[in-house]
Amino acid sequence: MIQFFITGTSSGIGYQLAMQALEDGHKVVGISRRHVINHPNYRHLTYNLNNYDEYKLINFNINKEAEKLVLVNNAGWLGDVKPAGQVSPASIERAYQINLIAPSILCKLFIEQTEKLEAEKVIVNISSGAASYPVSGWSTYCASKAGINLFTQVLREDYPNIHSFAIAPGIVDTDMQGEIRRLDTEDFPDKQRFVDYKDKGELSSPIDVASKLLKVIKHPETAPDCVFSLRDT
Ligand SMILES: NC(=O)c1ccc[n+]([C@@H]2O[C@H](COP(=O)([O-])OP(=O)(O)OC[C@H]3O[C@@H](n4cnc5c(N)ncnc54)[C@H](OP(=O)(O)O)[C@@H]3O)[C@@H](O)[C@H]2O)c1
C-alpha cells in the first residue's frame, strides 16, 4: 500500500490523482481549503496554504504499514495577472506562499517525519512549463515555479535516497485554465493562445495527467529526469 499526501485535492489534477490512488486501494491524506472527497481511505486536512500558522504543526501521521510514502505538492495559484509593476504586494506574497513556500515547508516536514522509516519515499512538486520561459503578466507564477524546480534539484542533492521530481503537467483542462481564458487581454496579452488551445481541443485531461503522475510515482526509475514535462513522456 502507498500512502499519499497530496495538496490541492479539491479540484483539477490533485482531485483526479487522489481519486485514482484511492481506486487503486491506496491511502490518501488531502490538503486544501475545500473538502470534496469522501472515501474510507481518504482523510482531509482543511488548511489554507497561504497561512503558515494553519499548517505548521501538521502531523503526517505516517502509516507504518505503507511500503511507499509520497508527497505531492500540487496546490497552485496563478496570482494576479498583470504587468509586474501593477501586481499588489498581497498577491505577490500569496502566490509565493502557495507555489513555493508551502511546498518547501511541506517537503521539510515530510522529510523530518519520515527519515527514520524504511519505506521508499517519493516527492513530486507540480511545476509548470512557465518555469522555463517568460510569460507576460505571470511574473510571480513563473518565478515561483522556476524556484520550485531548483528547490527540487537541491532536494535530490541533499537526499539522494528520496525520489524527488518537479513535473510540469502540460496544459490541462482544469479550473486554472478557465481562469486564464477569463482574463482581460489588456492584463494578459497572450490570452488568445489559451482560448485557442481549448477551442482546438489541445488541452490534456486531468484524468490522463493523473494517470501519468501515478505511473512516475509507482515506477520512479522510469522518469526521464528530476525536472521534466509530462508532454515529453
Ligand atoms: N492546468 C494547467 O494547465 C496547469 C499547467 C501547468 C501547471 N499547473 C499546475 O498544476 C497544479 C494544479 O492545478 P490545476 O490546474 O489542477 O488547478 P485547479 O483545478 O485550480 O486546482 C488548484 C488546487 O489548489 C488548491 N489551492 C489553491 N489555493 C490554495 C490555498 N490557499 N490553500 C490550499 N489549497 C489551495 C485548490 O484548493 P482550494 O481552492 O479548495 O483550496 C485546488 O484544489 C498547480 O500547481 C498548477 O500551477 C497547471
CATH code, 138: 3.40.50.720
Report the DSSP pairing between strands 227-229 and 163-168.
Answer: parallel
Return the percentage of the chain with pLDDT > 70, whole number: 100
Evaluate whether residue 197 is within a structural domain: no
The 10s digit of each residue's pLDDT in 17-48 is: 999 999 999 999 999 999 999 999 999 999 99
Report CA(159)–ligand 1 centroid distance (Å). 27
Evaluate whether residue 6 is within a structural domain: yes
User: pLDDT-based confidence at 61, cuts 50/70/90?
Assistant: confident
* pLDDT at 47 (0 to 100): 97
Q: What is the domain count for the chain?
A: 1
Q: Whose CA is nearest to atom 41 of ligand 1?
A: 33
- Phi first, then psi, for residue 125 (nearest 5°) are -105, 120
Evaluate whether residue 185 is within a structural domain: no
The 10s digit of each residue's pLDDT in 94-133 is: 999 999 999 999 999 999 999 999 999 999 999 999 999 9
* pLDDT at 232 (0 to 100): 87
**For residue 163, what are the domain limits?**
2-172+206-232
Report CA(12)–ligand 1 centroid distance (Å). 7
The answer to whether the CB of 167 is under 6 A from ligand 1 is: no
What is the C-alpha separation between 73 and 2, in angstroms, rounded? 16
Q: Cell numbers of 36, please? A: 470534496
Evaluate whether residue 191 is within a structural domain: no
* Catalytically annotated residue among 96, 141, 159, 197: 141
Evaluate whether residue 94 is within a structural domain: yes
> For 77-87, what is the mean pLDDT?
96
> For 165-178, what is the mean pLDDT?
98
The 10s digit of each residue's pLDDT in 172-227 is: 999 999 999 999 999 899 999 999 999 999 999 999 999 999 999 999 999 999 99
8 Å CB contact between 4 and 28: yes
Report the DSSP pairing between strands 227-229 and 42-46.
Answer: unpaired
The answer to whether the CB of 147 is under 6 A from ligand 1 is: no
Residue with cell 486544501: 32
Report CA(73)–ligand 1 centroid distance (Å). 10
Evaluate whether residue 199 is within a structural domain: no
The answer to whether the CB of 33 is under 6 A from ligand 1 is: yes
8 Å CB contact between 30 and 22: no
The answer to whether the CB of 149 is under 6 A from ligand 1 is: no
Evaluate whether residue 179 is within a structural domain: no
In this structure, the number of other CB atoms found within 10 A of the CB of residue 106 comes to 24
* pLDDT at 233 (0 to 100): 84
Q: Cell numbers of 62, please? A: 505516517
How large is the greatest C-alpha to C-alpha distance in the chain, in angstroms? 53
Q: Whose CA is nearest to atom 46 of ligand 1?
A: 76
Q: Whose CA is nearest to atom 8 of ligand 1?
A: 128
Give yes or no: 141 in active site: yes
The answer to whether the CB of 6 is under 6 A from ligand 1 is: no
* pLDDT at 83 (0 to 100): 95
Whether residue 64 is predicted with pLDDT greater than 90 in this model: the reply is no
* pLDDT at 168 (0 to 100): 98
> For 3-25, what is the mean pLDDT?
98
Name the residue of 5, 9, 10 whose CB sits within 8 Å of the most ligand 1 atoms, as the mutation to test its pocket. Answer: 10
What is the C-alpha separation between 69 and 2, in angstroms, rounded? 6
